[in-house]
């Protein structure tokens, strides 16, 4: 790994994943606002904050350039759908005492990403990857028994975020972090507005009625959404992919610790066994990832 920028890269990556890991606590303190109002506000205020950033960075030209490609708009629209499903499911999990199950979704996300490579890109799995997939499937069954119900929240989060990443991957480096989030929230803004109309007509909006603190936190949800994304983008430019892959486990680990030790969600024996199986699968996947990266590096050195 090159030394230049590596320290700042680690700092940016750690900050991004730590902030994402603390999100459950942020959403909990937004109550009495409900999950649908929270996500709608998050979308709208993220759009506002991104607009301010684009103005400060003078990057509106780059944003409008995205509309020149129908392919880019199509994949970004699909990405917006999947991130909306992910955000909504995650906030519901945080407000209904399912933070541990939400962490499971992000723990198994790397496994889901590997499976997408097989299904969509026709990639061939290496031996350790097959073993990791098999162990993770066993873990899901064990957790199914442990929870007493199928872990829908975990799987929805894993697959929606995996599909979101896949759609973003299809547009490659053509879409920046801020321009991408701006476009996604712009596409979702009509949906957010309809959701707020529905909430107002049923349970009533909390925004502006639960005190200045609650209102300020709802407005700040746009900043809370965009800042970790900016930190992540900065880290990705400074660190090799293998290190970014290792950092991705920080967020679900923090979510797990928050659920167990701060929110005191139950963890019977069956769930511990299931999580240990998931962690074992991730260890195997990490060993394979690091080993494969070294092999590729050696081959490239030999060629040069």
Q: Rounded to whole angstroms, how far apart are CA atoms 186 and 8? A: 31
Give me the pLDDT at residue 122, please.
77
Q: How many CB atoms lie within 10 A of CB 50?
A: 25
- pTM for this one? 0.87
The mean pLDDT of 212-230, rounded to a whole number, is 91
More confident residue, 233 or 207: 207
pLDDT at site 2:
46
* CA distances (Å), origin 276, targets 82, 158, 222, 269, 303: 28, 18, 35, 11, 41
d(CA 272, CA 269): 5
Q: How far does Cα 248 stand from its chain's mean position?
A: 9
- Asked if pLDDT for residue 1 goes beyond 50, the answer is no
In this predicted structure, the answer to whether residue 75 has a pLDDT above a threshold of 60 is yes
Cis peptide before 213 (omega within 30 of 0): no
Per-residue pLDDT, averaged over 44-72, amounts to: 93
pLDDT for residue 5 is more than 60: no
pLDDT of residue 242: 60
With H, G, I as helix, E, B as strand and everything else as coil, classify residue 266: coil
Q: Are the C-beta atoms of residues 185 and 52 closer than 8 Å to each other? A: no
Residue 175, SS3?
coil
Report, as an integer, the average pLDDT of 253-271. Answer: 90
The overall average pLDDT reported for the chain is: 87
């Amino acid at each position: 790994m090159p030394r230049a920028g590596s320290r700042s890269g680690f700092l940016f990556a750690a900050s991004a994943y730590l902030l994402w890991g603390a999100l459950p606590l942020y959403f909990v303190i937004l109550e009495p606002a409900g999950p649908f109002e929270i996500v709608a506000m998050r979308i709208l205020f993220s759009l506002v904050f991104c607009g301010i950033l684009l103005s400060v960075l003078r990057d509106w030209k780059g944003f409008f350039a995205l509309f020149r490609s129908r392919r880019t708009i199509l994949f970004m629209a699909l990405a917006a759908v999947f991130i909306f499903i992910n955000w909504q499911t995650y906030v519901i999990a945080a407000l209904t005492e399912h933070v541990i199950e939400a962490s499971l979704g992000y723990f198994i996300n790397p496994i889901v990403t590997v499976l997408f490579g097989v299904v969509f890109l026709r990639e061939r799995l290496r031996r350790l990857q097959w073993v990791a997939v098999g162990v993770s499937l066993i873990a899901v069954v064990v957790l199914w028994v442990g929870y007493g119900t199928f872990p829908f929240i975990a799987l929805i989060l894993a697959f929606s975020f995996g599909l979101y990443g896949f759609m973003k991957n299809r547009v490659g480096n053509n879409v920046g972090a801020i321009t991408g989030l701006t476009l996604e929230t712009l596409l979702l803004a009509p949906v957010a507005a309809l959701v707020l109309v529905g909430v107002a007509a049923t349970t009533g909006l909390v925004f502006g009625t639960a005190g200045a603190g609650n209102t300020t936190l709802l407005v700040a949800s746009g900043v809370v959404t965009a800042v970790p994304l900016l930190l992540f983008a900065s880290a990705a430019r400074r660190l090799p992919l293998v290190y970014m892959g290792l950092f991705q486990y920080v967020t679900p680990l923090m979510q797990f610790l928050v659920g167990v030790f701060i929110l005191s969600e139950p963890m019977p024996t069956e769930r511990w066994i299931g999580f240990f199986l998931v962690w074992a699968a991730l260890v195997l996947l990490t060993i394979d990832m690091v080993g494969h990266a070294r092999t590729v590096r050696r081959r490239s050195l030999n060629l040069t």
